[in-house]
């Protein structure tokens, strides 16, 4: 069964024309199953009030859909978010009120400059039906986007398999806590399965950790993946200021640090 995962930005009302609404928190998950494909669309419904859901949504998907109804600062923020995670695969729709030439100029220097422009949702459905899954081989890695306790079942987590395969009764680790967990059962689109491969979106019933001890962005992974150890409290990184930010970065400002789906508030950052 092929899996395709999308993020919808801009006017996300088209999500209801693509799939059925499922899990909803600050993110809404829509999905649809055909004979050989499971489609999933993630929508950051609390954006623009909260930037966190935007960054988390773009980190879940492999393909993006940008549905522009006006050119404003919020559209700019969504374009920057896609560019920040180096998105190169996706589609753009826009209303009659949006000048396509201006929009193409806006994205010209970003990674989404090669997104395909489409005229309507019917074209979008046709294009997405021809896409290939972006599967990755290797040790299992599953970033968690939702976790909750279910009566009679226990802890259930939701997430997209970014790499590898997960099977029933697999022994995995959850990071950063390092706790050992057991996969009791697996569901895809509410159907029980014995195994799932990247990039499937799965629901896993697990044993070994309570949902209240899991945060969005925690990682389920094989013991092979978790054998990597950080031996220092300092992690060297490179920082490049986005060219769209015209001001200077100053001392003692508050920042949000986004790594995958983990977002941390950082205070008193010195440059």
188-216 per-position pLDDT tens digit:
998 999 999 999 999 999 999 999 999 99
Nearest-angstrom CA–CA distance, 96 and 67: 12
Question: Mean pLDDT throughout 171-200?
Answer: 96
More confident residue, 199 or 270: 199
For residues 124 and 65, the answer to whether their CB atoms sit within 8 Å is: yes
Residues 222 and 116 grouped into a single domain: no
Q: Is 177 within 8 Å of 218 (Cβ atoms)?
A: yes
Task: Note whether residue 38 is domain-resident.
Answer: yes
pLDDT digits (tens, 9 = 90+) for 70-99: 999 999 999 999 999 999 999 999 999 999
Same domain, 172 and 75: no
Q: Is the residue at 237 inside a domain? A: no
Residue 78 domain-assigned (yes or no): yes
Give me the number of domains the chain comprises: 2
Q: Which residue pairs, CB below 8 angstroms and at least 24 apart, start in 234-243?
A: 242/80, 242/84, 243/109
Peptide bond just before 48 cis, omega within 30 deg:
yes
- C-alpha dist (Å) from residue 120 to 11, 20, 67, 254: 13, 19, 10, 41
Give me the domain span that covers residue 194.
141-226
pLDDT for 267 equals 58
Cβ contact 107:113 at 8 Å? yes
Same domain, 186 and 113: no
Kindly report the CATH number assigned to the domain that includes residue 39: 3.40.50.300
Helices (H) then strands (E): counts for the chain: 6, 18
* pLDDT of 270 strictly over 70: no
Identify whether 271 is part of a domain. Answer: no
pTM over 0.95: no
pLDDT recorded at residue 194 = 97
């Amino acid at each position: 069964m092929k899996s395709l995962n999308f993020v919808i930005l801009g006017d996300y009302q088209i999500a209801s024309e693509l799939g059925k609404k499922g899990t909803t928190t600050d993110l809404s998950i829509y999905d649809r199953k055909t004979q050989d494909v499971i489609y999933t669309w993630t929508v950051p419904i609390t954006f623009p009030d909260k930037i966190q859901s935007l960054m988390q949504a773009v980190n879940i998907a492999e393909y993006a859909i940008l549905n522009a109804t006006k050119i404003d600062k919020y559209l700019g923020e969504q374009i920057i978010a896609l560019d920040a995670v180096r998105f190169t695969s996706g589609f753009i729709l826009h209303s009659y009120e949006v000048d396509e030439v201006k929009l193409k100029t806006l994205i010209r220097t970003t990674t989404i400059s090669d997104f395909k422009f489409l005229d309507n949702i019917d074209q979008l459905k046709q294009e997405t039906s021809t896409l290939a899954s972006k599967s990755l081989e290797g040790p299992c890695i599953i970033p968690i986007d939702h976790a909750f306790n279910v009566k009679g079942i226990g802890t259930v987590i939701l997430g997209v398999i970014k790499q590898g395969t997960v099977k029933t009764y697999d022994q995995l680790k959850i990071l950063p806590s390092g706790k050992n967990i057991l996969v009791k059962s697996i569901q895809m689109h509410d159907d029980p399965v014995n195994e799932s491969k990247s990039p499937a979106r799965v629901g896993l019933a697990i044993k070994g950790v309570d949902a209240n001890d899991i945060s969005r962005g925690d990682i389920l992974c094989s013991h092979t993946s978790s054998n990597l150890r950080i031996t220092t409290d300092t992690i060297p990184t490179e920082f490049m200021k986005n060219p769209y930010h015209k001001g200077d970065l100053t001392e003692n400002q508050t920042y949000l640090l986004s790594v995958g789906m983990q977002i941390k508030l950082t205070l008193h950052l010195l440059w």
